[in-house]
Amino acid sequence: MKITRPSPGAPCWVELATKDPAAARAFYHELFGWRAEAVPEEGAAGYTRLYLGEQLVAGLSGLTQPDQPTAWTIGFHTADTDITADEIADAGGRLIAGPTDALDWGRFAVAADPVGAVFSTWQPAAMQGVDVRDEPGSLGWVELATRDPRAAAEFYARVFGWSVNTGEMYTEFGLGGRDFGGMMDMSDQFPAEVPPYWMPYFAVADADLGAERAALLGATVTLPPTDVPDGPRLAVLRDPQGALFGIHVVEPGGDE
């Protein structure tokens, strides 16, 4: 889906912080065909934009803090990062990096929800966010893994105005009648030491071929290709540097 304008509260950006940017660029180029373009501006600190053809799909950087993990971070659109940062704190979240200008691209903050999952906010200026969603090679679904689904649902509904549709097995988040992400309960599925997290799914035409290709490139398949009831075929992978992400099937030009 082409992104014509930012939608308040919706996922609008995805960014990888990695211990080996060069290896990560090579891996995602081979997997998704992404083209890396280093940002030349002074102050960009080696930041790289990732493109699918001419469409911006993601960002990539090295690690900036000694204890920072290699991981993908999902950014959610806001009209005012400073106001949203206050709302995050009021709702029980924690600011990791307070509102900051990113050159002339926009203004962001990095935060953790009350259960500990890390995400970011993005207030666009010169850069709106990703140029395309839900098409092969671009960001698709986003998923929260948490140990307290009720607290997490209340937090995101309050901060971003998301709808919360809780089913027997899974909870979906939405805006304007369209679901864009979901939430799963970690309680019985994950070791206690694994912290809550957000994970991006990237759209693909074939999850089986995508998982096979990723494994050949050095990724670990943590969930083999699986058919989700009333949902797409998907797989969960860990890239060679350790970042967790998923892939899920979409038809070109359409939703999953």
Using one digit for the tens of pLDDT, what is the confidence trace for 179-219? 999 999 998 788 888 999 999 999 999 999 999 999 999 99
Whole-number Å distance between alpha carbons of 118 and 196: 8
Whole-number Å distance between alpha carbons of 140 and 23: 23
65-85 CB burial, b ≥16 within 10 A, e <16: eeeeebbbbbbbbbeebeebb
Q: What is the pLDDT of residue 2?
A: 58
Q: How far apart are the first and last CA of the chain?
A: 11
User: Are 60 and 52 contacting, i.e. CB atoms less than 8 angstroms apart?
Assistant: no
| Residue 112 in tokens | 């953790």
Whole-number Å distance between alpha carbons of 75 and 198: 10
Q: What is the pLDDT of residue 256?
A: 43
User: Are 255 and 135 contacting, i.e. CB atoms less than 8 angstroms apart?
Assistant: no
Tell me the residue ranges of DSSP E strands in 3-117: 11-18, 35-38, 48-52, 55-62, 71-77, 94-102, 106-112
Find the largest Cα–Cα distance for the chain: 51
Q: What is the pLDDT of residue 4?
A: 61
Cβ neighbours of 142 (radius 10 Å): 22
Q: What is the pLDDT of residue 254?
A: 47
Q: What is the pLDDT of residue 3?
A: 62
Read off the pLDDT of residues 23-38 as tens digits, 9 standing for 90 and up: 999 999 999 999 999 9
Q: What is the pLDDT of residue 64?
A: 85
Q: What is the pLDDT of residue 169?
A: 83
pTM flag (> 0.85): yes
Closest CA relative to residue 69, chosen from 25, 11, 112: 112
Q: What is the pLDDT of residue 252?
A: 55
177-214 CB burial, b ≥16 within 10 A, e <16: eeebbbbbbbeeeeeeeebbbbbbbbbbeebeebbebb
DSSP 3-state assignment of 213? Answer: helix
Q: Which domains does the chain have, with CATH numbers?
A: 11-124 (3.10.180.10), 139-249 (3.10.180.10)
Q: Which residues of the chain have pLDDT under 70?
A: 1-5, 42-44, 251-256
Q: At what angle do helices 21-32 and 207-216 cross, to 10 degrees?
A: 140
Q: What is the pLDDT of residue 44?
A: 66
